Amino acid sequence: MDNADKIAMVERYVEAFEKGDVEIIRSMYAQDAVVEDPVGTDAHHGLDAICAFYQGALGAGAKLRLSGQARCAGNAVAFPFHVVMPGMQIDVIDVFEFNDEGKISSMKAYWGPDNLRKDG
């Protein structure tokens, strides 16, 4: 998987949130993937658990806005963005690791209370 493919996955991820489409998310992840969001909390294991997690975020109206360039290294891409929801914004850095089939095998989201801003 080359860097252009990794960056295209980041763009597809943003698109999934823009469209509120969990099926886009489903198509991006490996069946046995793991999501830790934020790092330090209980991980979501497997495609069904991951899609249920994302359905909650999409249902809350979360949208993503990239806030810097993606960085590619090895089988991974890291990228900074804002999660924008009614009344709040979270500044996040996600790291996707990819398997040999080009699917996300691991996603880790780095953010904490200091990265949360309430509007109004």
pLDDT tens digits along 49-87: 999 999 999 999 999 999 999 999 999 999 999 999 989
47, 86, 94 from 106: Cα distances, Å = 11, 28, 10
CA dihedral 53, 47, 84, 69 (to 10 degrees): 150
Q: Which residues are tagged catalytic?
A: 13, 37
Say how far apart CA 116 and CA 33 lie, in whole Å.
26
Q: Which domains does the chain have, with CATH numbers?
A: 3-118 (3.10.450.50)
CB 77 within 8 A of CB 11: no
pLDDT tens digits along 11-46: 999 999 999 999 999 999 999 999 999 999 999 999
Say how far apart CA 26 and CA 53 lie, in whole Å.
11
CB 64 within 8 A of CB 11: no
Of the candidates 32, 17, 12, 11, which has an alpha carbon nearest to the alpha carbon of residue 83?
17
- At 114, list the tokens: 């200091």
The pTM of this model reads: 0.95
